[in-house]
Chains A and B, each alone.
Chain A
Amino acid sequence: MTETTSWMPADAFAPRTAESPYGWGLPLNISTHGAGIDQLINILHWFCLALFVGWGLYFLYCLVRFRARPGHQPNPMLNHFKLPTFLEVGVAIFEVAILVFLAAPVWGSYKNDFPDEKDALVVRITAEQFAWNVHYPGRDGKFGKTDINLIDGTNTIGLDRNDADAKDDIFTINNLHIPVNKKVIAYIHSKDVIHSFFLPVMRVKQDAVPGMTNKVWFEANQTGSFEIACAQLCGNSHFRMRGQFLVDTPEAYQAFLVEEEKALSEASQ
């Protein structure tokens, strides 16, 4: 991870690809819901830029034209300007429109349009200082019981292997594999303090709060190897609470499952 960086990397503003997903500004987006978020961010910034440049030109013009100099008298301008009022109303209308027609629908679909759990890959993500535990239900699609009293150095999620549903459960640390083009539902919680599950390339962020379970869904449309970041200060090693986020082809995903199942059966023998 010790990338040598020149002051400005060549790909700072280059189009993002799976091989070069990061730069200055928005990273690559490989999620199906992320386009709406990016569109919102882009529109807002063009709007801000337009306002700022407009104000800025007016401002600079005033600074020069109305500078104090011999023979120049200030004009108190006690009458009312109409144009700024229109501008104010325009800004307000823009804000209402962007909220009602873009921001609220995008957020609503991110929050509410959960796929049916039968059609989706469901995973549980348990954050702890300073790692991401990923729990897959295995082939039966059912999560085994977990019990905090069973948590130890190796069984970091306290999975009860005696439970019938738990026999085929897989869990990994700092490694989230998902198949491409399949909807994923993640149940996110924390064992200790508040963390935040952040997938920069997926436009997904969700706090992991102890005592409650939050739920997000996402679907990747490109394969590649990316990062899970912790976005909430969680202690002195917050900076290295980094996980791998791997979007696999369906074949590669199956291979990952087979590999994990093999390791599981070897461990239980």
Chain B
Amino acid sequence: MSSHDSHAQGHHEMGFIRKWVFSTDHKVIGIQYAVTAMLFLLFGFFLILMLRWQLAHPNTAIPIIGGFLPESWANGGVMTPDFYNVIGAMHGTIMVFLGVVPLSVGGFGNYLLPIQVGAQDMAFPKLNMASYWVFFIGGVIMFASFFLPGGPAANGWTSYPPLSVVAQNGQTMWLLGMVFLITSSLLGSVNFIVTGVQLRTKGMSFFRMPLFVWAQLVTSFLLLLAFPPLEAAGVLQLMDRVFGSSFFLPSGLIVSGEKLTVSGGGNPILWQHLFWFLAHPEVYVLILPAFGIVAEVIATNTRKPIYGYQTLIYSMVFLGFMSFFVWAHHMFMTGMGTNLSNFFQATTMIISVPSVIILTTLLLTLWGASIRYTVPMLFALAFLPMFAIGGLTGLPLGLAAADIHLHDTYYVIGHFHYVVAPGTLFGLFAGVYHWFPKVTGRKTNVALGKLHFWISFLAINGVFFPMFFQGMAGVSRRLYDPMVYAHVAHSQGLTVLSSYCSFILGAAQFLFLANIIYSAFKGKKVESDNPWESTTLEWATATPPPHENFPTPLEVFRGPYEYGLTPKGYSPQHLQEA
């Protein structure tokens, strides 16, 4: 990528379409990904708020919105069971595949990975553009499925057959959408790996790379190796639905009193193996980029090196590797015996070790620090205990005997939301506030940011913590009416608490939206290219960074987190003199 000449000739005369729509600039693509993903996050969140209304006030009309929904979704404003299941399935799908991953990998990864390794762009800029547009098509297909006569998929984000195979057409759209989303991820991951390995600037050895880059590299390997089995499985399920094959359908199915006319001989459990072979590594795809972001923010705002930088890297790599060997802990109840379950319980206990190490190193980094309580730092600090709750509650679920009672209850929902919502999403908020000045050249409003943080932090715990009590009580997931079962109705008070906290959480996000939209256009301009006094390379270039990032390639002289070693307080990687 030594294309100074082309840079000198100037890409600056590109038209609007070439520059902002069909761009090959990784930074523009990153922004495209981030904006699209945030819109989907809002949409997915809005869906679940309607569901939370139904749970808190079963069989009462959804205020305001209920009247605008079609009859099959909300009868007289009251949510139907079918629409409830639609929301359950699409909330999960949208948040995971169209929200969090595109934001953390597509958005942050695209924007930052090349700059942080000192590259001018991704290794394959056109592939990068293709990756975004294939993702976009996948998103359009998913969104369009809401306008099908039968509505979108309603079979859980896991789409277990036979339910998903005998379901309405929305499921076909879901599978088609997934094929596009997976293809997009594969294109992206190849690009990330090649860029991270090949385009590092002079002096940027592997052990001088920022942790964010490491996290993205491990994530890319997970996407590259884990997604193809799901893509294959998706195509097989598509065959079952559209062409009458029976990969996942056993013989002799009687659905609604009618014998199903399929050849049979398939196995529904096969889908679960293929699905979870992706979906467990996917959990680490969701969390690793957040680890990376949090590490950057913590290093900058503690003004000292990350404790155990190399240990953290080895832990992330080991975590990624192990994540391929734990998938069947999602399947203890399918009829698994002792041999298989012992293996998967053991691997699950092993994978908890690197997670604990990562958390410990970040906590130890605080010792001796000089903590600046900036808005991104608040989110990054909150990430630590929230991720701890998410991780610790994984322990009972990872042991088959305890899982007998807890499997598929609200305990599971509480567990993975603690990892992904106050975990990953807080990490992503930290990232948005941290890099906003670099991307836009303007600062966000600190008071609004702090208000956003505190309301979100309190509300989100109110949403998810009660779920542990409910899960222990045996409250199953995906129940439309919480009043049918006595053991569920007993904790209705917690359901109401959880719902109202989710409404407050929803309202708090308008503070965030108002802040970033206003600040992007009218925010206070940054006076320096390095407003946080940070060490990594993205702060060494202009603000916002120009096309191809660096007018002349930088050379790197030291590791990424040399804070507090000189009187100046920080030693940027690209400066020879500390």
Contacts and interface: CB of A to CB of B under 8 A. Distances in A.
Interface string A212-242: 1010000000000001011111111111101
Nearest to A23: B490
Interface residues on A, range: 35 or more
Nearest to B384: A59
Given A45-B396, A48-B393, A74 B303 contact: yes
Given A22-B473, A24-B494, A207-B335, A192 B370 contact: no
A142 B399 CA distance: 36
A103 interface: yes
B385 A55 contact: yes
Contacts of B481: 239-240
B473 A24 contact: yes
Contacts of A251: none
B349 A95 contact: yes
Nearest to B491: A24
B224 interface: no
B402 A196 contact: no
B245 interface: no
Given A74-B368, A148-B254, A239-B479, A111 B487 contact: no
Nearest to B407: A205
Contacts of A103: 345, 399-402
A75 B304 contact: yes
B162 A193 contact: yes
A58 B163 contact: no
Given A23-B473, A25-B473, A129-B256, A238 B478 contact: yes
Nearest to B271: A194
Contacts of A77: 304-305, 307, 367-368
B533 interface: no
Contacts of B21: none
Nearest to B167: A235
A195 to B, nearest CB: 10
B333 A207 contact: yes
A164 interface: no
Interface stretch (A33-41, A117-125, A171-179, A259-267): A33-41
A239 to B, nearest CB: 4
B155 A107 contact: no
Contacts of B283: none
Contact of A62 (B166, B259, B366): B366
Contact of B337 (A51, A111, A196): A111
Interface in A97-120: 98-99, 102-104, 106-108, 110-112
Contacts of A256: none
Contacts of B494: 24
Interface residues on B, range: 35 or more
B99 interface: no
B345 A192 contact: no
A84 B155 CA distance: 44
B251 interface: yes
Contacts, number: 314
Interface in B65-119: 80-82, 84-85, 88
Nearest to B368: A75
A110 B360 CA distance: 36
Given A51-B392, A230-B476, A74 B369 contact: yes
A209 interface: yes
Contact of B490 (A2, A24, A96, A192): A24
A26 B333 contact: no
A258 interface: no
A23 B489 CA distance: 9
A67 B251 CA distance: 66
Given A52-B388, A74-B304, A205 B333 contact: yes
A37 B402 contact: yes
Contacts of B478: 233, 238-239
Interface stretch (B274-282, B351-359, B521-529): B351-359
Contacts of B496: 7
B250 interface: yes
A247 B372 CA distance: 61
B373 interface: yes
A153 B256 CA distance: 10
Contact of B408 (A41, A193, A196, A211): A196
Contacts of B564: 73-76
A176 B491 CA distance: 25
B353 A110 contact: no
Interface string B250-265: 1111111101000010
A255 interface: no
Nearest to A20: B490
Contacts of B82: 236
Contacts of A7: 493, 496-497
Contact of A41 (B249, B338, B472, B480): B472
B469 A76 contact: no
Contacts of B154: 236
B484 A239 contact: yes
B250 A211 contact: yes
Contact of A84 (B264, B360, B372): B360
A190 B204 CA distance: 58
Given A88-B357, A231-B476, A152 B259 contact: no
B253 A236 contact: no
Contacts of B373: 67-68
A239 B81 contact: yes
Nearest to B341: A107
A67 B381 CA distance: 13
Nearest to B394: A48
A201 to B, nearest CB: 8
A27 interface: yes
Contacts of A203: 404-405
A6 interface: yes
Contact of B269 (A12, A58, A106, A209): A209
Contact of B401 (A11, A26, A106, A192): A106
Contacts of B400: 103, 107
A90 B17 CA distance: 58
A89 B490 CA distance: 41
Interface in B362-419: 363-364, 366-373, 381, 384-385, 388-389, 392-393, 395-396, 399-402, 404-409
B486 A227 contact: yes
Contacts of A237: 81
Nearest to B342: A104
16 contacts: A5-B493, A24-B470, A24-B491, A44-B395, A59-B385, A66-B369, A66-B370, A74-B569, A84-B360, A88-B356, A92-B353, A99-B345, A99-B346, A128-B254, A209-B268, A232-B160
Given A92-B353, A194-B163, A231-B408, 17 more contacts: A3-B490, A27-B473, A27-B474, A68-B373, A76-B368, A78-B305, A84-B360, A88-B356, A148-B254, A191-B254, A203-B404, A205-B405, A211-B253, A212-B267, A212-B335, A229-B485, A233-B160
6 cross-chain pairs, A with B, having the tightest CB-CB distances, nearest first: A211-B250, A200-B474, A75-B368, A62-B366, A74-B370, A106-B401
Interface of A: 1-3, 5-9, 11-12, 21-27, 36-37, 40-41, 44-45, 47-48, 51-52, 55-56, 58-59, 62-63, 66-69, 72-78, 81, 84, 87-88, 91-92, 95-96, 98-99, 102-104, 106-108, 110-112, 128-129, 148-149, 151-153, 191-194, 196, 198, 200, 203-207, 209-212, 214, 227, 229-240, 242
